[in-house]
Amino acid sequence: MFRLPIRFLFLSMLLLLTLFVGSARAATDSVHAGPASLATIVSGFGGDFNSRIAAIDALGVDGSDDARRVLVALEAGNLGLAADRVVIVDGETVLDAATGEALQTAVAEVDTITVNNRIRRAIATANAAFALVSSNRAERLSAATILRENATENLLPVLERALDKEQDDAVGSVLSYAVAKINLSSADAAKRLSAAVALGESSDPAVKNMLAALLEKSGEGSSATWIEPVAEVRAAAEASIRTIDRRVATAQTVGTVFSGLSLGSILLLAALGLAITYGVMGIINMAHGELLMVGAYATFIVQGLFRNYLPAWIDWYVLAAIPVAFFAAALVGVVMERLVLRHLYGRPLESLLATWGLSLVLIQAARVTFGPQNLELSNPSWMSGGIELAAGVVLPFNRIVIIGFAAFVLLLIWLMMQKTRLGMFVRAVTQNRPMAGCVGVPTARVDTLAFAIGSGVAGLGGLALSQIANVGPAMGQGYIVDAFMVVVLGGVGQLAGAVWAALGLGIVAKFLEGWAGAVIAKILVLVFIIIFIQKRPQGIFALKGRFADS
Amino acid sequence: MQTRRTFIKALVLSASIAAIGAPIGAHAADTIKVGILHSLSGTMAISETALKNVALMTIEEINAKGGVMGKMLEPVVVDPASDWPLFAERARQLISQDKVAAVFGCWTSVSRKSVNPVFKELNSLLFYPVQYEGEELEKNVFYTGAAPNQQAIPAVEYLMSAEGGSAKRFVLLGTDYVYPRTTNKILRAFLKSKGVADADIMEDYTPFGHSDYQTIIANIKKFAAEGKKTAVISTINGDSNVPFYKELGNAGLKATDVPVVAFSVGEEELRGVDTKPLVGHLAAWNYFMTVKNPENDAFISKYKAWAKKNGVPNADTVVTNDPMEATYVGIYMWKQAVEAAKSTDTDKVIAAIGGQTFKAPSGFTLTMDKTNHHLHKPVYIGEVRADGQFDVVWKTKAPIRAQPWSPFIAGNEGKQGL
């Protein structure tokens, strides 16, 4: 009981002592070793927010191993202050940040420095400055890329040093770009000129703004002077702006077409199953959206199994989920067809109501078993990120994969419908049920199978949706209208119609959105469909022949 | 004839409701009924189910400590199914048939607007636990969530500060309905008062349930590239947040370049998102699950135990969030007011509740304002962590008084009390 206060006294004395020695050393260091000494830099963390940012920048310029150690600690949230001294928390011990020697301070006494966005950004820049001297080419390249965006004048000597030593062309060009960005505000006109020329290689609208700033005048009326006094530099800047503009415009058009294709492929995946069950079999299936939901939930279960049992293969869970999602949704489809729909063939109104009821049952069932929350499905690493066409236009990998997946599913269905016996039976039953029955086609079984396939394809749609949208009990509700829109617009009974309608709607919607905003675009698309259906009720493609009108 | 039939109908109805909703109705005289009006199905179930859970937990806790004035509380749970007119119907049922003393419920502003006339007409009490756009003050409603000056304005001030990245250009992005529209109107006026030009503000809305954010993200990037430091202020609500954040991550828009601060995204919403690409994006609330203090530790462990005991799906990963804390505080505020008034009578409770204080899980002692029916609340700004929780990067020193009538909207001068 006694020992506690004594120990406390001892500790605090020790602390005071070390503090005194520490600050004395910092003071002498700054006298002897100049302003860049590590102790001085580190003491910046004891100051206000801006002095912390300055300290991080200085660490990046310093580049020593000790500086790196401090930065790593800061990034991990282990750098803190204990009685005005900058320290690093290392497990149970507390180290002095500048020297690395162990202190007697208790971990609980350390007030760690909060790492927020601004600090994180400064750390990334400083880390990149370190990585410029790495022997690994990929590391140097990514470091140079970060510095291209964030570098400040302080880092110019570091960049120039690295540029001198750099052997690799790709890294070198990124570095010279970064240097050019800084040199644009150099006092030397020759440097500004070469910078303005070099930046013509850019496709970044932000660089364009930097160049455009040179072409402005300061002051009013006739007494106005150019911000950039040298005419040659201005001409180079103008030429560079023109090339950047051209490049950005092309990239943006490509980006819009791509996002239209991507939206179209999602609409297609949502609608393909319906194109079979509604388009081909004539069942108005209001529970179609919930079949998408079943597919997405099946994907979630597969992800859970992979997380628990095959964590090393987690990146490939999406592939394993393809058959699971298909069969899970197909099974639900079979049960629906056997128990409910088969009694309602030829009575569209009743089947509409019955399937709507089924959709509510399925939503509530999902809510009761999995909870009402959205489920977290993470993109595998090979589906994260994207290809950068130009600054600002990124084609995300998950969307590229989904476009490919939609094409794959479409091919599969086409092969099934055109090349297999089952497909032939389905087409026969669709065209003339009594006649198909007469020649020995088991129509009841074909109905069940066709419905199962349509449902399974909806499950695949759900799998794809899980990679970009949210997965929750009511997720299907958002797609049912879109799916019917696509099928009706494309022409009932036609797979090709669904493809054209989905892609067309996607691209039109995206161009409208860019022009008028999302809310107006949605309204315009619906108005367009209403007008189109009034003028051409059979859709883009119509079934030709005897049964088209019945 | 007519009256007798209605009477029989009412009798049958109330008997069946009693049979469903109140298995211990036999001791009705010894209990005080309270209503819980949260959507348990439909689009809002994702957010509101947790509030129903936390309300039931709080009532259990109060009962375990001896109830209110020696009487047990008896919760009556109804499901308005995310259907706004149904909210009014269910509220009427709770007040007229079940004779509840107070109702805890609603999430969206439109549901609150639809029940307001019912509470006014029948002179009952509603405790509304969600941050909202303000511009409203009802005698029968107590607002335990944040008004705009307790959430939106401090968040924007933070973004404009050196710590927050000195943002100079702002994208106001929201779902197209009353809360985002009003909040953005207030924010635009606020930004103008801080010298931000109209050309530096981009305002954009998406329909409810919008799931394709490609164009909007591309527009934000374009806007951000046009010059000074840009920040996004998101009032996107409900399900659309997941596709928005997924697109944000995949399009490579990092928090260090263009931070997004959200007013409707908390721990519960992030459960449906892979948060690794979102690290550093911000949210502003009056409570975070990561706030460290004894009250919060107790609150979290109580809720986790309750969820496990009652078989809530995924009980081992349940989280607490701001509206849940506001529900918890609201029920205790009502309890204290009833005990101070020694009655559950609406007018007496309203008279007694002003000035009540409660040591809340947010780490502050919250006070119910004497005149404006809002809590004085602290403001926290958090950054998303890789595990879906928030690191608090900024907070107010003390709770702030609510301004339900924003001074940034013309015509609101002098409208601060009832």
Cross-chain Cβ contact A518/B207 below 8 Å: yes
Tell whether B257 and B347 lie within a shared domain: no
Do the domain assignments include residue B268? no
Band of residue B309 on the pLDDT scale cut at 50, 70, 90: very high
pLDDT of residue A134: 81
Tell whether B156 and B96 lie within a shared domain: no
Tokens 């393909």 belong to A272
Band of residue B416 on the pLDDT scale cut at 50, 70, 90: low
Helix or strand holding residue B103 (H, E): strand B102-105
**Residue ranges of B 233-292 with Cβ closer than 8 A to chain A:** 239, 241-243, 246-247, 249-252, 255-257, 259, 268-269, 271-274, 276-277, 280, 282
ipTM above 0.85, yes or no: no
Cross-chain Cβ contact B218/A373 below 8 Å: no
Q: What is the pLDDT of residues A67-80, one digit of tens each?
A: 888 888 888 888 88
Helix A477-490 with A288-309: angle, nearest 10 deg: 130
Every domain of chain A with CATH number 1.10.3470 lies at: 250-517
Mean pLDDT of chain A: 83
**Residue ranges of A 99-138 with Cβ closer than 8 A to chain B:** 114-118, 120-121, 124
Q: What is the DSSP letter of A343?
A: G
Q: Where is average pLDDT lowest: A295-309, A483-497, B121-135, B308-322?
A: A483-497
Tokens 């690395």 belong to A100
Q: Is the distance from CB of B260 to CB of A409 less than 8 angstroms?
A: no
Report whether pLDDT(B208) > 60: yes
Q: Which of B214, B251, B256 sits opposite A262 (nearest CB)?
A: B214
How many angstroms separate the CA of residue A360 from the nearest CA in chain B?
A: 10
How many angstroms separate the CA of residue A113 from the nearest CA in chain B?
A: 10
pLDDT of residue B90: 95
Band of residue A346 on the pLDDT scale cut at 50, 70, 90: confident
Report whether pLDDT(A38) > 80: yes
Measured between its terminal Cα atoms, the distance across chain B in Å is 45
Band of residue A546 on the pLDDT scale cut at 50, 70, 90: very low
Band of residue B322 on the pLDDT scale cut at 50, 70, 90: very high
Band of residue A331 on the pLDDT scale cut at 50, 70, 90: very high
Residue B328 C-beta-side C-alpha neighbours within 13 Å? 26
pLDDT of residue A28: 40
How many angstroms separate the CA of residue A310 from the nearest CA in chain B?
A: 19
pLDDT mean over A162-185: 83
Nearest C-alpha in B relative to A373: B46
pLDDT of residue B272: 67
Q: What is the pLDDT of residues B20-59, one digit of tens each?
A: 444 444 444 589 999 999 998 877 887 898 999 999 999 9
**What type of residue sits at position A75?**
E
pLDDT of residue B27: 47
Q: What percent of chain B has pLDDT over 70?
A: 92
Distance CA B237, CA B208 (A): 8
**What type of residue sits at position A131?**
A
Q: Is the distance from CB of A402 to CB of A262 less than 8 angstroms?
A: yes
Q: What is the pLDDT of residues B354-369, one digit of tens each?
A: 999 999 999 999 999 9
pLDDT of residue A410: 92
Do the domain assignments include residue B347? yes
Q: Which of B242, B252, B271 sits opposite A386 (nearest CB)?
A: B252
Nearest C-alpha in A relative to B381: A116
Q: What is the pLDDT of residues A420-444, one digit of tens each?
A: 998 888 888 877 888 888 998 898 8
The candidate with the shortest Cα–Cα distance to A449, out of A434, A430, A462, is A430
Domains contained in chain B, number: 2
A273 part of contact set with chain B, CB < 8 Å: no
Tell whether B28 and B67 lie within a shared domain: yes
**Residue ranges of A 188-227 with Cβ closer than 8 A to chain B:** 204-206, 209
A461 part of contact set with chain B, CB < 8 Å: no
pLDDT: is B414 or A168 the higher one?
A168
Q: What is the CATH number of the domain that holds B7?
A: 3.40.50.2300
B49 part of contact set with chain A, CB < 8 Å: yes
Report whether pLDDT(B16) > 70: no
Residues from chain A contacting residue B215 (CB–CB below 8 Å): 256, 259, 510, 513-514, 518
pLDDT of residue A19: 47
Nearest C-alpha in B relative to A516: B204
Cross-chain Cβ contact A117/B176 below 8 Å: no
Nearest C-alpha in B relative to A518: B206
The highest-confidence range among A233-242, B70-79, B209-218, by mean pLDDT, is B70-79
**Residue ranges of B 365-384 with Cβ closer than 8 A to chain A:** 383
Q: Where is average pLDDT lowest: A211-220, A340-349, B221-230?
A: A211-220
A469 part of contact set with chain B, CB < 8 Å: yes
Tell whether B193 and B226 lie within a shared domain: yes
B45 part of contact set with chain A, CB < 8 Å: yes
pLDDT mean over A399-408: 93
How many angstroms separate the CA of residue A49 from the nearest CA in chain B?
A: 7
Length of chain B: 418
How many angstroms separate the CA of residue A363 from the nearest CA in chain B?
A: 9
Cross-chain Cβ contact B268/A379 below 8 Å: no
How many angstroms separate the CA of residue B275 from the nearest CA in chain A?
A: 9
CATH topology of domain A250-517: ABC transporter involved in vitamin B12 uptake, BtuC (1.10.3470)
Q: Specify the long-range contacts of residues A528-536, CB closer than 8 Å, at least 24 apart.
A: A529/A485, A529/A488, A529/A489, A532/A489, A533/A488, A533/A489
Report whether pLDDT(B14) > 90: no
pLDDT of residue B408: 87
Q: What is this structure's pTM?
A: 0.79
pLDDT of residue B181: 92
Mean pLDDT of chain B: 88
Cross-chain Cβ contact A118/B163 below 8 Å: yes
Report whether pLDDT(A511) > 60: yes
Tell whether B108 and B16 lie within a shared domain: yes
Cross-chain Cβ contact A124/B256 below 8 Å: yes
Tokens 């990034």 belong to A75
Q: Is the distance from CB of A325 to CB of A298 less than 8 angstroms?
A: yes
pLDDT of residue B413: 73
Distance CA A300, CA A296 (A): 6
Tell whether B207 and B308 lie within a shared domain: no
Tell whether B190 and B319 lie within a shared domain: no
Report whether pLDDT(A529) > 80: yes
Cross-chain Cβ contact A478/B255 below 8 Å: no
Q: What is the pLDDT of residues B168-197, one digit of tens each?
A: 999 999 998 889 999 999 999 999 999 999
Report whether pLDDT(A23) > 60: no
How many angstroms separate the CA of residue A417 from the nearest CA in chain B?
A: 31
Helix or strand holding residue A88 (H, E): strand A85-90
- Which tokens belong to A482? 């879109």
Nearest C-alpha in A relative to B258: A117
Q: Is the distance from CB of A303 to CB of A319 less than 8 angstroms?
A: no
pLDDT: is B379 or B9 the higher one?
B379
Do the domain assignments include residue B279? no
Tokens 């400040």 belong to A152
Q: DSSP strand E in A179-319: where?
A: 217-218, 225-226
pLDDT mean over A59-67: 83
The highest-confidence range among A14-28, A287-301, A359-373, by mean pLDDT, is A287-301
Tell whether B109 and B141 lie within a shared domain: yes
Q: Is the distance from CB of A474 to CB of B43 less than 8 angstroms?
A: yes
Band of residue B246 on the pLDDT scale cut at 50, 70, 90: confident
Q: Which of B256, B277, B314 sits opposite A120 (nearest CB)?
A: B256
Cross-chain Cβ contact A259/B165 below 8 Å: no
pLDDT of residue B286: 95
Nearest C-alpha in B relative to A514: B215
Residues from chain B contacting residue A510 (CB–CB below 8 Å): 214-215
pLDDT of residue B163: 87
Band of residue A409 on the pLDDT scale cut at 50, 70, 90: very high
Angle at B112 (CA atoms; ends B367, B326), nearest 5 degrees: 30
**Residue ranges of B 117-176 with Cβ closer than 8 A to chain A:** 162-165, 176
Q: What is the pLDDT of residues B47-99, one digit of tens each?
A: 898 999 999 999 999 999 999 999 999 999 999 988 889 999 999 999 999 99
Number of A–B residue contacts, CB under 8 Å = 174
Nearest C-alpha in B relative to A365: B41
Measured CA to CA in angstroms, residue A519 lies from A214, A468, A482, B220, B232 at distances of 38, 20, 15, 17, 19
How many angstroms separate the CA of residue B314 from the nearest CA in chain A?
A: 7
Cross-chain Cβ contact B215/A256 below 8 Å: yes
Cross-chain Cβ contact A392/B222 below 8 Å: yes
Q: What percent of chain B has pLDDT over 90?
A: 62
Can you give the residue range of the structural domain that contains B174?
A: 152-262
How many angstroms separate the CA of residue A23 from the nearest CA in chain B?
A: 27
Tell whether B252 and B334 lie within a shared domain: no
Cross-chain Cβ contact A392/B164 below 8 Å: no
The highest-confidence range among A280-294, A475-489, B179-193, by mean pLDDT, is B179-193
pLDDT mean over A37-62: 85
Cross-chain Cβ contact A473/B45 below 8 Å: yes
Cross-chain Cβ contact B218/A393 below 8 Å: yes
Q: What is the pLDDT of residues A377-390, one digit of tens each?
A: 888 888 877 887 77
Helix A397-419 with B241-250: angle, nearest 10 deg: 110
Report whether pLDDT(A292) > 60: yes
Band of residue A305 on the pLDDT scale cut at 50, 70, 90: very high
CB within 8 Å of B278: residues ≥ 6 apart? B245, B248, B249, B255, B270, B384
Q: Is the distance from CB of A326 to CB of A464 less than 8 angstroms?
A: no
Distance CA A328, CA A339 (A): 17
pLDDT mean over B322-326: 96
Measured CA to CA in angstroms, residue B80 lies from A369, B138, B412 at distances of 21, 21, 33
Distance CA A503, CA A269 (A): 11
Band of residue B334 on the pLDDT scale cut at 50, 70, 90: very high
A513 part of contact set with chain B, CB < 8 Å: yes
Report whether pLDDT(B11) > 70: no
Tell whether B363 and B322 lie within a shared domain: yes
Residues from chain B contacting residue A266 (CB–CB below 8 Å): 212
Cross-chain Cβ contact A376/B165 below 8 Å: no
Cross-chain Cβ contact B249/A510 below 8 Å: no
Mutation target among A52, A112, A114, A118 for the B interface, most CBs of B within 10 A: A118
pLDDT: is A480 or B41 the higher one?
A480
